[in-house]
Amino acid sequence: MKESDKIRLSNEEYDDDAQAVQQSELLPIYEAMSFSGDIQPLDDIEEPEEIDVNFDQKRSENRGSDKKSNIKKKKISVKSDFRIKTFIACLALIVVVVGGITGAYFGIKRSDVNDSPVRMVYKTADKNTIVKLADGTDYNIGEAREISVSTDGMYLWFTRNTSSATGKYDLRMIEVASKKSLSKQGKFIEKGIDEGWKTTKDGQFACYGITKSNITSCYMYSADAQKAVTVADSVEEYFPPSVGNTVYFTRRSGSIYSLHRAKYGDNSENVASGISHVKYSCDSDDYEIIYTQPTGEGTDVNIYSVKDTDSPVSICENVSEVYLDDYVYNGNLYYFTKNSSNINWQDFITDNYYESDMNIQKPVESDYMVEKGFIFKRQVLDTTKYNAAKHQYELKAVRDEIREELNKLDLGLTAKSEYTCFAYSGGTSRRLASGVTLENIIEFAKKGDPRLIYRKNVIGVGSTINMDDLVDITRRSNVQKTMDYVRNSVQGSYDVSDSCFYSWFNGNKVLEYEVNDYDLDKTQFVFSDGGELYAVSDTELYFSKAENSEMSAKRLIDSNVSDCTAVSDMVYYEKLDSSGAKSLYKYTPEGGKAEACKNVYSYFAVSDNFVIILTRQSDSDELVSVGIYDGKGFATVDSDLSLNNFVYSGKAFAYIKNYKSGSGELYGYSLEKGAVKCGDGVTQIMYIG
C-alpha cells in the first residue's frame, strides 16, 4: 500500500471522534446514576459488527465510513467492557459475602464440635447430675433418674420424672459430639414413658413403652432420623436389641402368647405363635432370643433360637426341662430330655460313636467322582473312598437300630424318671450325661466349656459291654439276638450305688469322670477355664484335675476358706484368721498359693493379674481403703472410702471419700492417670466408662 493510500483524519475529525467516544463512555455511567441501567449477563453482550473498508473508493468516502465504523466500534466495546467489569465486581462481592457467611458458619460448627467421650456421670447434693468428659469438662444436665451411655461414650440418654404423672418419665438424648447439645441438656424425646426403656449399645436407637388404660404401645426412636416410630400396640413385653434396629415383642390373646418382631420404620411380622417362655440375652456386639413352644405332650417343649431378621433355628425338640433363666449370652444352655425306659443302658454299654454318628450321612456317588484320562478325560467313581463311606454309613445304621431297641429294653429295674442332659453353646448341642435326675444336678458352668456335676444311680454289672461287640452280633444274626446277649450279660441282681460324676466337653469330646471324694451336701464346686476343678468343702479348699481318663486325687490347698473365685486356671480365695479377719490368697497349679493382701473387706478379680481389693481400716467400721494386686504385689490407691459408693468398669473405678452428711469427694482411677479428684458434694456414682 502506498503512503497516499493510508487513512488520515484531520484535526477536526479527531476532535469529533474523541467527543463521540467520551459520550459513549459516559452514557452507561449516567444510566447507572439514574438507576435505569441493567447489568447484562455475558451471554447478552453482542459482538461488534464487522465493517468492510473498501480502499478502492474515494478517500472522502473512506474517511466518512471509517469515522462511523470507528465510532460504532468504540461505543460497543467500551460499553461491553464496563458491563463486564461491573458484573465481575458484583460477582466478586457475592463470593466474598458468601465466603464470609460460609466461613462463619463452619467456624461456629467447629466451635460446637466435641470429640471427648463421657467418662463419668454422678449426682450431687443439690440434686443435679454432672456429666464429666474425658478431657475433664463438666456439664450439668439437671435431674436424671436413669441413664444409658453408648459404648463409645458419644450418646447419653436419660429420664426425668414426669411432673404430671406418678411412675412416668420423660426421655431425653444428648449428642455428646455437640457442645450445644450438652449445654442445653440434650433433646426432649418423649414424655410419660414406662420403666424398662433400653438403648442399643451404640446409642443410635432407644426403645420404650407407653401404657395407657392398661394397653402398652412400644416405640423406637432413631438418633439419626431424629424421630420416633410406633413398633406395635397391645404389647405384652418387648425386648430392645443391643445392636441393630429390630425389636422383638410378645402379644397375648387369652392364655396364648405369640412372638413378633419389627424393624425400625417397617410393619411387624409374626415369628412364632403358641410360645410359653422367652429369654433375651446380649453383649455389646450381639444378642439372641431363645423361646419355647409346647409340644402338646405333657409339659414337653421345643426350643428355638432367633435374632435380627433371621429365621428361627431349632435347638431341640421334646425337651422336658430347660434352664432358661440361667442362660447368659454366648454361654451354655442346659436342657433335659426324658429317657424312654426305666433302665439307662449307657451305664453298662460303652458307646463311643454316639456323637460322631450324628454327622454321618448316606454317601452319594456323585460326591466321589474323579477325573481320569490324559487326552480323553472322563468322570469315574472312586470306588475305594465311596465303599469306605458306604461301609461307615451301614455300621451307623446298625448302631442306630441297636440304640432304638436298647431304649425299649426293660430289665425289671425300678428307677425314678431319668433324663439325658444336653448343653447348647456356640450354635451346637452336645450330650453331657445320661441317667440323671433333675433334683440331683449339683453344679453347672454358665460360660466357658460346658461342664456338669451331678449324682446318678450306677448299675453294677459283671462287665461292661462294648458297642462294637453288639454290632458284630447284629450283623451275624439280628438285633433280637443282640438284646438276648445284653440280658444275659447283665447281672441278675443289680448293685445300685449313688455316685457323683463330672462331665466336661473339652472342645473335642465329652469326658465323664467319677468324683466320690466329697461330701456333696457340704461342697461348693468352682470351675476353672481348663480341666481344673476347685471345691470348698466344709471350709477346706481342694483342687483336682482331669487327667487322661480319670480325675486326679483331690489336693488340699488351704483351710478356713470362706469364698473363692476362679480366673483362668487359678483361683483367688479368702481365708479367715483366728480373729475373724480375712486375707486374700492366690493359688495356681504350678506356683502354689501366695498371699495377696490382709484385712480384706471385698475384692473384684477383673483378670488373673488385676484384682481390685477393698481393705478395712483399723480406725473405722464404715470406711475402707482401695488398692490393686497385680499378681506380684499389692499397692494401696486411696483410703477413707464410703462402703456404699464404689463402682468399677474393667480396670477403671470410681469412689466417694470423706463422706459426710450424705455427700463426699468423688475420685476416679485409671491405669494411665492413677487416682484423680473429679468433684465435690457427690451423693451417687451413676456411670464410669
Interval 302-329 mean pLDDT: 94
Nearest to 415 by CA among 351, 354, 342, 322: 342
Q: Which pLDDT does position 42 carry in this prediction?
A: 44
Are 257 and 217 in contact by the 8 Å Cβ rule? The answer is: no
Give the confidence band of 173 by pLDDT, cuts at 50, 70, 90. Answer: very high
Pair type for strands 465-466 and 349-350: parallel
- The 3-class SS string of 210-276 reads EEECCEEEEEEEECCCCEEEEEECCCCEEECCCCCCEEEEEEEECCEEEEEEEECCCCCEEEEEEEC
Q: Please say if the pLDDT value at position 36 is more than 50.
A: no
CA distance 558 to 571: 12
Q: Please say if the pLDDT value at position 514 is more than 90.
A: no
Q: Which pLDDT does position 414 carry in this prediction?
A: 52
Three-class DSSP category at 135 = coil
Percent of the chain that is helix, strand, coil (3-state, to 5): 20, 45, 35
Q: What angle do CA 606, 609, 610 make, to 5 degrees?
A: 40
Q: Please say if the pLDDT value at position 457 is more than 90.
A: no
CA distance 162 to 123: 19
Q: Which pLDDT does position 254 carry in this prediction?
A: 85
Are 527 and 543 in contact by the 8 Å Cβ rule? The answer is: no
Q: Any idea which of 71-80, 138-147, 150-159 has the lowest mean pLDDT? A: 71-80
Q: Which pLDDT does position 687 carry in this prediction?
A: 95
Read out DSSP for 304-329?
A: EEE-TTPPPEEEEEEESEE--TT--T
Nearest to 456 by CA among 516, 497, 511: 497
Four-CA torsion 10, 11, 16, 21, nearest 10 degrees: 100
461-476 pLDDT per residue, tens: 556 788 999 999 999 9
492-507 pLDDT per residue, tens: 545 555 678 899 998 8
Q: Please say if the pLDDT value at position 308 is more than 80.
A: yes
Give the confidence band of 5 by pLDDT, cuts at 50, 70, 90. Answer: very low
Interval 62-75 mean pLDDT: 47
Give the confidence band of 556 by pLDDT, cuts at 50, 70, 90. Answer: very high
Q: Which pLDDT does position 108 carry in this prediction?
A: 56
Give the confidence band of 661 by pLDDT, cuts at 50, 70, 90. Answer: confident
Nearest to 189 by CA among 164, 206, 176, 204: 206
Round the average pLDDT of the chain to a whole number and report it.
Answer: 83
Percentage of residues of the chain with pLDDT beyond 90 = 53
What 161-170 contacts at long range (C-beta under 8 Å, 24+ apart), as own/partner pairs, is: 162/191, 162/192, 164/192, 165/192, 167/195, 168/192, 168/193, 168/194, 169/145, 169/193, 169/194, 169/195, 169/197
Q: Which pLDDT does position 689 carry in this prediction?
A: 86
Q: Any idea which of 201-210, 221-230, 347-356, 560-569 has the lowest mean pLDDT? A: 347-356
All three cell numbers of 232, joined, read 406395635
Interval 553-565 mean pLDDT: 92
What's the one-letter identity of residue 437?
A: T
The residues, any chain, with a CB within 8 Å of residue 486's CB and separated by 6 or more, are 345, 349, 406, 409, 465, 470
The residues, any chain, with a CB within 8 Å of residue 657's CB and separated by 6 or more, are 638, 639, 640, 641, 642, 664, 665, 667
Three-class DSSP category at 682 = strand
Q: Which pLDDT does position 106 carry in this prediction?
A: 58
Q: Which pLDDT does position 38 carry in this prediction?
A: 45
CA distance 437 to 456: 7
29 versus 581: which is more confidently predicted?
581
Are 331 and 449 in contact by the 8 Å Cβ rule? The answer is: no
249-281 pLDDT per residue, tens: 999 988 899 999 999 999 999 999 999 999 999
Torsions phi, psi for 483 (to 5 deg): -65, -35
Sign of the dihedral through C-alpha 47, 48, 53, 58: positive
402 versus 29: which is more confidently predicted?
402
Give the confidence band of 620 by pLDDT, cuts at 50, 70, 90. Answer: confident
**Which segments of 323-462 are extended strands (E)?**
333-338, 349-350, 369-372, 378-381, 419-425, 428-444, 451-460
Nearest to 431 by CA among 367, 366, 369, 351: 351
Q: Which pLDDT does position 19 carry in this prediction?
A: 47
The residues, any chain, with a CB within 8 Å of residue 535's CB and separated by 6 or more, are 518, 523, 524, 525, 526, 541, 542, 543, 544, 554
pTM comes to 0.71
Q: Which pLDDT does position 105 carry in this prediction?
A: 57
Q: Please say if the pLDDT value at position 203 is more than 70.
A: yes
Percentage of residues of the chain with pLDDT beyond 70 = 82
Q: Any idea which of 2-6, 327-331, 652-656 has the lowest mean pLDDT? A: 2-6
Interval 139-160 mean pLDDT: 95
Residue 497 pairs in a beta bridge with 458
CA distance 158 to 176: 13
Are 239 and 278 in contact by the 8 Å Cβ rule? The answer is: yes
376-385 pLDDT per residue, tens: 788 889 999 9
* Radius of gyration for the alpha carbons in the chain, expressed in angstroms and rounded: 43
Interval 561-575 mean pLDDT: 92
Interval 538-560 mean pLDDT: 88
CA separation, residue 156 to residues 128, 196, 242, 246, 651 (Å):
16, 16, 15, 21, 22
